Amino acid sequence: METIRIDKMLSNVTNISRSEIKRFIKRGEVTVNGKVVKTADEKIDPESSEVKIKGQTIGYNEFVYIMLNKPKGILSASNDKSRKTVVDLVPENLKRQKLFPVGRLDKDTTGLIIITNDGEYAHKIISPKNKTGKVYIATLDGALKEDLISEFKKGVVLADGTKCRPASLEILESNIARLTLFDGKYHEVKRMFGVFDLGVNELHRYAIGDLTLPDTLQSGECLLMSAEDVEKTL
């Protein structure tokens, strides 16, 4: 692997700022393979080096992938001055610099959202051309008609004339549907059902690609994704 500056490596894999890392180095609290680091621009091979801060070993993973069971009322954003965001819910041991949510869920939508610092990965998930399905359970304020299945399969034309990509709709109960989308338009589910004079009372996303939200992951909880989990979303 290519070498990388010690301060950059540590900021990539921790939630510590570069300025704070420099202070650790200045105090002699950062070591590489048992030797005290003298300067922040010292270059190392992070995969073959044992790096410690104050005696604590810092593992190297350039990118991190986290699944969150998003509660209601939380913004799908990296930060906000007055409101809590999905990144705020990430526990300190999983936090990294520059974390962001992959796509968005509306403020009152619950369920699976992925948080990462890997922009290339996020683009693959978000881009409609990659056809990564997002699966939702929608509870409506009225009864679902069978002809909606074919309407969604054709691609719903929204009130402003925008045509959505074909979607899969399965009626589970009279007012509850499972919906698989391959788009990512703003308020898309609400706008799609709105075309048929149906309001969305509850919306929950439980899968992205082949990755399903674990039953054991409670609302507001995060889980570090495995390589297999990541592969399921691609």
Q: Which ranges constitute the DSSP H helices of the chain?
A: 6-13, 18-26, 119-126, 147-154, 188-194, 227-232
Angle (CA) 227-229-234 rounded to 5° is 95
Instruction: Return the structure tokens found at 27.
Output: 């105090």
Alpha-carbon span 137 to 207, nearest angstrom = 10
The verdict on whether 7 is a catalytic residue reads: no
**Alpha-carbon separation of residue 196 from 147, 153, 192, 193 (angstroms):** 11, 14, 8, 5
Q: Which of 88, 106, 108, 183 is the catalytic position?
A: 106
**Alpha-carbon distance values, 153 to 30, 93, 171 (Å):** 57, 43, 13
Other CB atoms closer than 10 Å to residue 118's CB: what's the count?
Answer: 19
| Maximum C-alpha span of the chain | 70
Which among 174, 176, 186, 164 is positioned nearest to 206, based on CA atoms? 176
Q: Is 227 helix (H, G, I), strand (E, B) or coil?
A: helix
Place of tokens 């009864």: 143
Residues 69, 214: Cα–Cα separation, whole Å: 9
Catalytic residues: 106
